[in-house]
Structure 1
Amino acid sequence: MPPGIGSLESLQKLSLVKASKKIIRELGNSVQLRKLGITKLESGHGRDLCASIQNMEDLSSLHVSSTNEEEFLALDDVSRSPRLPCSLYLGVRLQYIPQWISSVHSLAKICLKGSKLLNCPLEAIQALPSSLELRLVDVYIGEELKFKSNRFQKLVILEIRTIQ
């Protein structure tokens, strides 16, 4: 990624960007970004990524992944979540589902991969009214996922897998 990516204020789509602290901070200037895909995140990138995401009011798709399956990525420092996300892919190890996700009512596609949570992830996401697609891959290391009745009423696709 060339230096100065943050000066592209009108940029709307950016995918497969290899994370670095500098690039993540510069992305906060790309306030018109609608789709963001960032890879190779490390545990120290969480706070800066959250600060940049807060500035992206038109963000409709967020795809983040990390390289280290054992490092936790904290994504809970978002005080003002984007208004429009329709698609969310988190391919990172999490200690818990970030609270801001449950306030994004337009979220239609959710994919969580490799989180290996100790607590059931459904509590944080099952009240989202627009969920059409839910993919949980290696997300929960507990015994069972408990779906409450009258939740996920629009759900069309449900995928639950464990990678061995």
Structure 2
Amino acid sequence: MILLKLFITFFKIGMFSFGGGYAMLPLIQLQVVEINNWLSKKEFIDIVAVSQVTPGPIAINSATYIGYKIGGVIGAVISTIGVCLPSVIIMFILLKFVIRFKNNNFIEDIFKFLRPTVLGLILAAAMIIFQESVLGFKEFLIFLFVFVLSLKYKLDPILLTLLSGILGYLIFT
């Protein structure tokens, strides 16, 4: 029964989320932390952090990890399929319409309307992560240092991630 619940939960998340993984985070948190109580807020923040630095889309990484935690390997597979399947179905359905109406102004207006919605969802995810994380002075200094390096020198994100990890290791061990 838990496997069916995992599938339905992540299918709903995949079906009603627009804009990719970061836009999905508020919905994932609502379903996983608040409604189903599968994870604590701290565990959710940890999953988001790990999902950001591992290869692949954040929503899929999160779904896979949560599914594994709740239902083992089969739970991971079912959660991953659940979050991906709506996009696949929608793309097959929309493909016919996009080809047919690709130069239609109404369709272009719909996508213009969705852009700010997606931005709002991404900002909501950022606010949730910021509010729930325990950010001490040392963590803030690492963040500030890496943020300044990013803006001033346009360094590669992978290098900045590695630098953050090294600084965190040196400061906290």
TM-score tier after normalising by the smaller chain length: under 0.3
- Could you say which structure has the greater relative contact order, defined with CA pairs below 8 angstroms and 6 or more residues apart? 2
Higher strand share: 1
Q: Which has the larger radius of gyration?
A: 2
| Higher helix proportion | 2
